[in-house]
Every structure is written in C-alpha cells, then in structure tokens.
Amino acid sequence: MKKRTFLTAAALSAAALAAAPAMAQDNTFKIGLILPMTGQQATTGRQIEAAARLYMAQNGDTVAGKKIQLIVKDDTSLPDTTRRLAQELVVNDKVNVLAGFGITPSALATAPIATQSKTPMVVMAAATSSITQASPYIVRTSFTLPQVSVALADWAPKNGIKTVVTLVSDYGPGIDAEKFFKDRLTFNGGQVTDALRVPLRNPDFAPFLQKVRDNKPDALFVFVPSGAGAAVMKQFLERGLDKAGIRLIATGDVTDDDQLNDMGDGALGVVTSHHYSAAHPSAMNKKFVEAFSKANKGLRPNFMAVGGYDGMRVIYEALKTSKGQGGGDALLAAMKGQLFESPRGKIFIDAQTRDIVQDVYLRKVEKKDGQLYNVEFDVIKDVKDPGKAK
Ligand code: DHB
C-alpha cells in the first residue's frame, strides 16, 4: 500500500493548505472576504462589504500590476461555516488574503488555517482582545473591547456614577468588556454590584433588565454586538429604567450608527465610548460618510464599515509596498507598522502585536439636523489594547 493512504483527512487538508500559496500565480490578487451576510449579524456583513466596495471604487482595482478580485462569502456567522469557507478559499480559489470575520468565534475558527497556509488574515470586525494571539498571520483593523471599555470606567465616577450593573453578551467580547470595565471602575473607587450575561443567540433582555431595575444601580453598563443595540434600548425604556433614575452607559456597539437614528428620542443623552462615530468631525470622515451614503441608498456607515474600509487600505498598501512580489509573509510584513489617517482619526497597526492602536472617544447621543448621532465630547489618544499589556 502506498504511504499516502495512511494520511488522515486532517493531515491531507493541512498538506493542501501548506501547498496552496505556492500554486497561486497569475495576475489577479484575490481577497477572500468572509462575512455574515444573512442572519443575526447581517448588518455587519452589509456594512463591511459596502465599505470594501467603496474603497475599491475610490482607489481602483489594479495595484502593483495586479487586478484585485474580491470574493465575498456568507458564513451566516456560524464558525464551522467560516472555517470551511476559509479552507475552500485558500485551497481552491488560492486567495492571497483572508478578510472580514463578523464575530469572534468565526475569527478564532479560521486562525489555524491562516497559520498553516501562511495567509494574512485581516480581522475587520471581531473584537475580543485575544484574537490577534490566535495566529501570527492575523492583523486587526477593528478594535478591542478592553480598548474602548476602560475610557467609560474612567468617565463614570467623575460624573456621579458610583454603582453599576454590567450586562454583556456571554462570549469573548462581552467577557472582555465586563472584566476591563469592572477592574477600572473598582480601581477608580466605583463598584459593580451585579454582572449579568445574556446569550449571544436570540437574547431576551427583559428578565435581565428587571433584575437591574430591582438592583437600582446609578447606571447600567452594556455591551452587545452590532445589531442588538436597538432591542436593548427599546426594552430599557419600556421597563422604565430611565424613569427609575438608572443611567444607561455602553460601548458604542449599542448606539450603533447603523441603527441609532431609528432608536427614537429615548436614546438622547446616552453616553458611550468607542473608536468611531459617523459624526466624527474631520474632513476625511465627512467625505467618507457622504460617499458611503451615496453609494448605498442613504445608509450611514457604522464602526464595522470603517473597519472594512481601513482593512482594505492595509491590504492595498501592503501589496504596493511588496510590489506584488512575494507571498503571505511579504504581505504580512508590509501590513505591520502601517500608520495612516482613517475616517475615525489617526490609526496605527502595532508591528509587535499586529493589533490596532487608535483614539477612543467619549460620545453622547444628540440630535443634529433632526437626526440622532453619537457626538464626541472627549478623546483619549493612541490607545493600545490593554488586554495585551502584560
Ligand atoms: C464582536 C461582534 C460585534 O458585532 C461587535 O460589535 C463587537 C465584537 C465580536 O464578536 O468580536
């Protein structure tokens, strides 16, 4: 019997992955963009795909003599599907870069494929701190929950908030937000009086909000992923938590620009911390918001869109710097250390951690020209992911 027969399926697929990049050779440069285009996280996919296409429309589809081909795949936010699609994109389509990743489990499921095939993997959405440690081929253009949560825990006690109940989605980013918010608030002399976790899939916030009402903290701190914020806001108001004197504070995932304008005046005054607001007052952002909206029937870009737009920038520049030569390692090297102006402000890909360093803003929901926006009122410059400060 030939030796090959004894190879397990896993070893076979590992061999296929390792061989894949060497075979990729023609004048196209392929980006495999895996996103949740349907299901609970569909707005993330819609925003990122639209932003990637906008970047290409503005910057052309030929870079360093290569024609850029974007291959979009819908993983419906199921990590097993993400992994299968990534494997197919690497082995069959011979993509040069993997990108997207709407939720943390999808990014973590794909990390070993990036490592084995030496394919750079640009995480444009998922935001658990540890993701960049799952593969040396991962580069992140989104954010991390520790990065954005700490600013709010500094702001709260200076603004009359001493006791807080935390309410987070029960998975990676939520657990990061809960821990880093609590540690910092406690350090600042405040107190987390209860820590509640809701399921990621089909969450029912009502029973948790009732517990918060009974607990009567000064504020409720919330993290839920993009797309779930409007439901939290609605039930917070319906249960009369605001009338009971409980303030709502959150990461900007809750007052998501994709949904904010439909949340109604009940959202006015909610203070959040985050890395991007469609109302960010820079010339570059004004142009970005206008162009995005024009290309997408009036849709307002959210923080997912900016992660996708900047991710495309990182890929384009890496291709330019490596002059279209070399494989995944050359591309990866050229992604590390990129420093540029994004619609969110100045950003930097830390060469050591491959994670994003960026400004974090405190914002308040206000009405401007009849529309609800997250209006920035303070900034913490150049914030590294505190989840990695060891
Ligand atoms: C993640 C997903 C989100 O939609 C978000 O707003 C933050 C984090 C995640 O799964 O990592």
The strand pairing partners of 352, in sequence order, are: none
* Structure-block tokens of residue 108: 């973590």
- Whether residue 77 contacts residue 39, with contact meaning beta carbons closer than 8 Å, is answered with yes
Antiparallel, parallel or unpaired: β 191-198 and 66-74 = unpaired
Beta strands in the chain (DSSP E): 28-35, 62-63, 66-74, 97-100, 121-123, 138-140, 163-169, 191-198, 219-223, 247-251, 271-274, 339-342, 345-349, 356-368, 371-383
pLDDT at 363 over 90: yes
* pLDDT single digits (tens) 364-389: 999 999 999 999 999 999 999 999 85
* pLDDT single digits (tens) 184-213: 999 999 999 999 999 999 889 999 999 999
Across residues 284-308, what is the average pLDDT?
98
pLDDT at 123 over 60: yes
Q: So what's the pLDDT on residue 12?
A: 57
Contacts of 86 (CB under 8 A, 6+ apart): 32, 34, 98, 110, 113, 114
**Which single residue is written with the structure tokens 């995932």?**
253
Contacts of 214 (CB under 8 A, 6+ apart): none
What gap in Å lies between CA 157 and CA 185, rounded to an integer?
A: 7
Q: So what's the pLDDT on residue 131?
A: 98
Alpha carbon of 107 to ligand 1 centroid (Å):
11
pLDDT at 8 over 80: no
pLDDT at 221 over 80: yes
Percent of the chain with pLDDT over 70: 95
Across residues 74-79, what is the average pLDDT?
98
pLDDT at 182 over 90: yes
The more confident residue out of 124 and 324 is 124
Alpha carbon of 224 to ligand 1 centroid (Å):
8
Percent of the chain with pLDDT over 90: 91
The more confident residue out of 175 and 14 is 175
Antiparallel, parallel or unpaired: β 371-383 and 356-368 = antiparallel
Query: What is the 3-state secondary structure of 59-100?
Result: HCCEECCEEEEEEEEECCCCHHHHHHHHHHHHHCCCCCEEEE
Task: Name the pLDDT band for 5 (thresholds 50, 70, 90).
Answer: very low
| CB of 173 shorter than 6 A to ligand 1 | yes
Across residues 326-347, what is the average pLDDT?
97
Nearest-CA residue for atom 11 of ligand 1: 126
| CB of 35 shorter than 6 A to ligand 1 | no
Across residues 64-92, what is the average pLDDT?
98
What gap in Å lies between CA 184 and CA 205, rounded to an integer?
A: 25
Ligand 1 atom closest to Cα of 103? 10
Q: So what's the pLDDT on residue 26?
A: 76
Alpha carbon of 1 to ligand 1 centroid (Å):
49
pLDDT at 120 over 60: yes
Q: So what's the pLDDT on residue 18?
A: 75
The more confident residue out of 22 and 341 is 341
Ligand 1 atom closest to Cα of 127? 11
| CB of 272 shorter than 6 A to ligand 1 | no
Task: Name the pLDDT band for 254 (thresholds 50, 70, 90).
Answer: very high
| CB of 128 shorter than 6 A to ligand 1 | yes
Positive or negative, the CA dihedral 316, 317, 323, 326 is negative
What gap in Å lies between CA 183 and CA 179, rounded to an integer?
A: 6
* Structure-block tokens of residue 306: 């900016």
* Structure-block tokens of residue 225: 């992923």
Q: So what's the pLDDT on residue 303?
A: 99
Across residues 345-373, what is the average pLDDT?
98
Candidates 270, 55, 252, 30; CA nearest to 147 is 252
- Which class for 158: exposed (0-12), middle (13-18), buried (19 or more C-beta within 10 A)? exposed
**Which single residue is written with the structure tokens 């540890």?**
130
